[in-house]
Structure 1
Amino acid sequence: MSQRSEAPFRADHVGSLLRPPALVEARARAAAGELDEDGLRAVEDAAIIDVIALQESVGLQSATDGEFRRSSWHMDFIYRLGGVVRTDELITVAMHNKQGSGAFTSAGIAVTEPVRLTEPIFADHFDFLAAHVTSATPKLTIPSPSMVHFRGGTKILDRSVYPDVDQFFADLSAAYAAEIAALAEHGCRYLQLDDVSLAYLNDPAHRAQVAARGDDPDHLHERYVAGINAAIADRPDGLRITTHMCRGNFRSSWAAEGSYDFVAEAVFGGLDVDGFFCEFDDERSGGFEPLRFVPPDKFVVLGLVTTKSGELESADELKRRIDEAAKHLPLDQLCLSPQCGFSSTAEGNDLTIDEQRAKLELIVQVAADVWG
């Protein structure tokens, strides 16, 4: 066994990181009209330079910008697609944690014109990241195309624009293909498509919600796999693409439960990415048995370290669980990461920046012990 020189890496992470207090304060001042765009950008730049240094100092081979320029891991991107507009109708997702229940809310979305890429999205974010890494591979995270549809379902479509739903999915994939090509031109060689839909659809409660809004809960994941595959089919040589599939992450809460069994064959066996970041931090995630569908040329990054609390996992327990996973997929196809980002939205999860660092250091240490 050995460490890897291309993504995904033996010790990796999902992408978002806790916002430092100075950035939180700057965003609040900008929202109140007390700080202009240039002032906010300067604070973001400084925070990103620091968080790149954090990732490299703990020994990670990939570095993101922590998603520090975003409010949300996905909605900031989706609203910038041509044909997609923000609406006054709220998207509300029920969230749960050990203390009770809450909700993630966002402005709604509607598709009022043909979907297209009007300009590269987050390319400037990547450029800044790439200019400031020294040892790590710069990694960009964007929501998968599935999320444009999944957040509202087919009812978000203006049917005078898309009487044929298949044309919507074709246009969506084409827009993403253009985005991926543009990012590659900027030098991106590690891209992650974040996707909660493929994990949510394992949960009977969420499949019931999909049925109630008029979509097909039994085959929607297959349509999403086909859409992602169409989007990435012509990716340039040398661009590594992974997907992250979690069950929700908002202020240390989650939205869905259940193993990957329902989608495993179609997703692990059919999704043409280079690696899968999978959530396996607690009993909500089920067992490792679905990994038997992963082909020999793909990697699974085991999300064994929770980002939902600051309690530090035992290195020995992580190694034991890696051994369990290796009963279903060869050890050489496995890697290690947190189960999700530390701050999928600007609010962040319930742990400190020091606790976040300790978890990243633990992942690097365990990966070195396991894979050399």
Structure 2
Amino acid sequence: MSSNTNAAAKQRYAGYKADHVGSFLRPVRLKQARKDYAEGKISQADLVQVENEEILKLIEQQKQNGVHAITDGELRRAWWHFDFMEHLTGAEGFDEAQGYQFHGVETKPHQVKIVGKIDFNPNHPHLQHFKFLKDAVGEDANHIAKMTIPSPNMFMQRKIRCSNEIYVNDLQAYAQDLGHAYNKAIQAFYALGCRYLQLDDVYWAFLVSQQRANEAQEFGDSTEELAQACVTTLNLALADKPEDLVIGMHICRGNFASAWIYEGGYDSIEDYIFKQVQNVDRYFLEYDNERSGGFAPLAKLQDSNAEVVLGLVTSKVEQLEDKAAIIARIKEAAQFLPLQQLALSPQCGFSSTEEGNKVDYQAQWKKLQLINDIVAEVWPK
């Protein structure tokens, strides 16, 4: 499905073939400050000062390493999603008995629950986080402040959706409220000058996983109905999107301490994400291993003005990919979607949670430089 974003805005804010998903490894100083704050050794103001200083350093590092879409690395967050979700009206964060079970590792036991009607909180702290980022990036023709937030679909997880009886038997009302809340959120970021906003979404990958099949068998939910609710939510969120706002959507299979949680290709959801969802400009799709399936579903976007940012470079291990092998895979993808509609990035962020992936701090910059080198060869200016 095509986007309403005008060509000038796409060129200005996302007119490059090398991109990244958003999060960066936390500096040692920031990790220590968080530990000190948790132990009562420093104040919140002290912690914020450290965050500010480390974000300013990160912005310069990104510029020095050829990054165009500049993020704050999600350095203020413990989680890529919960920190945003729990500050919406009607949602609340809490620590539960156990965390998410990834392959070989378990996360900290945190979760979000529904405590009332979902709506956007006009005092959401991430608004000020973006303002700090935009002010720091400045007015520069070669750089843009990019904001990353979890997709509204992250609220579709059964554990969250059914945590309060208000929405248990009314999926459509839930989808409507989520969509309207996120529509307000998107407009609020836009009002602060955001022109490149990315929605991070693990739920689409969940819908094609074995875990989803197990859940359907246990509870009898229809996968098709859930997928359609996700489409409804996203289309409401992106309805009347300003024509100079670029929207990205990242579909992830889990990223914690270099581990993953879901597997499955895009085949069974291709019509939902590529044909029914509207106003997405850039699809950030994981393609760093066989768990992500093949490129054939990309053909669904041939008649659109959307791009696919191929996540062919992994953020989960330090070892650099073979340049020729990545170029060969890009050419393979181009058999299904024209090269001009493709771009390149890591498959996920380097630190979706504050723990980070098991890679050296400098490795993330080497990965981004590899991407820049490949882009210069595949898409010469």
Please confirm whether the aligned pair reaches a TM-score higher than 0.5, indicating the same fold. yes
Change (3 A) 1:263 1:163: closer
Paired residue for 1:6, among 10, 13, 17?
Answer: 13
1:164 corresponds to = 170
Residue 91 of structure 1 contacts residue 108 of structure 1 at CA under 8 Å; is this kept in 2?
no
Q: Residue 295 of structure 2 aligns to which amino acid in structure 1?
A: F
1:296 corresponds to = 304
Q: Residue 74 of structure 1 aligns to which amino acid in structure 2?
A: H
2:7 corresponds to = none
- Which stretch of the first structure deviates more once superposed, 215-224 or 286-295? 215-224
- Which stretch of the first structure deviates more once superposed, 218-227 or 245-254? 218-227
Residue 304 of structure 1 contacts residue 338 of structure 1 at CA under 8 Å; is this kept in 2?
yes
Deviations 1:265-286 (CA, angstroms, capped at 9, x unpaired)? 2111222211100000011111
Paired residue for 1:366, among 363, 367, 374?
Answer: 374
1:127 corresponds to = 131
Paired residue for 1:223, among 223, 226, 229?
Answer: 229
Residue 110 of structure 1 contacts residue 158 of structure 1 at CA under 8 Å; is this kept in 2?
no
Q: Residue 173 of structure 2 aligns to which amino acid in structure 1?
A: Q
Q: Which runs of 5+ in 1 are unaligned?
A: none
Deviations 1:136-169 (CA, angstroms, capped at 9, x unpaired)? 110000001110122625422323x775332222
Paired residue for 2:118, among 98, 115, 129?
Answer: 115
1:26 corresponds to = 33
Aligned length: 365
Q: Residue 309 of structure 1 aligns to which amino acid in structure 2?
A: V
Give the superposition deviation at 1:217.
2.3
2:335 corresponds to = 327
Q: Residue 112 of structure 1 aligns to which amino acid in structure 2?
A: V
Residue 91 of structure 1 contacts residue 152 of structure 1 at CA under 8 Å; is this kept in 2?
no
Percent of pairs identical after alignment?
Answer: 40
Q: How far apart, CA to CA, are the structure 2 residues paired with 1:163 and 1:344?
A: 32
Name the SS of the counterpart of 2:249 in structure 1: strand
Is 1:188 aligned with 2:191?
A: no
Q: How far apart, CA to CA, are the structure 2 residues paired with 1:279 and 1:260?
A: 10
Name the SS of the counterpart of 2:198 in structure 1: strand
Q: How far apart, CA to CA, are the structure 2 residues paired with 1:314 and 1:67?
A: 29
Change (3 A) 1:279 1:137: same
Paired residue for 2:243, among 224, 227, 237?
Answer: 237
Is 1:40 aligned with 2:53?
A: no
Residue 307 of structure 1 contacts residue 339 of structure 1 at CA under 8 Å; is this kept in 2?
yes
Q: Residue 142 of structure 1 aligns to which amino acid in structure 2?
A: I
Residue 350 of structure 2 contacts residue 356 of structure 2 at CA under 8 Å; is this kept in 1?
yes
Give the superposition deviation at 1:204.
2.8
Give the superposition deviation at 1:105.
4.0
Deviations 1:79-117 (CA, angstroms, capped at 9, x unpaired)? 101111234544643211xxxx22224423322211111
Q: Which runs of 5+ in 2 are unaligned?
A: 1-9
Q: How far apart, CA to CA, are the structure 2 residues paired with 1:120 and 1:25?
A: 28
Name the SS of the counterpart of 2:305 in structure 1: coil
Residue 18 of structure 2 contacts residue 371 of structure 2 at CA under 8 Å; is this kept in 1?
yes
Q: How far apart, CA to CA, are the structure 1 residues paired with 2:158 and 2:337?
A: 32
- Which stretch of the first structure deviates more once superposed, 73-82 or 269-278? 269-278
Give the superposition deviation at 1:15.
0.2
1:249 corresponds to = 255
Residue 289 of structure 1 contacts residue 328 of structure 1 at CA under 8 Å; is this kept in 2?
yes
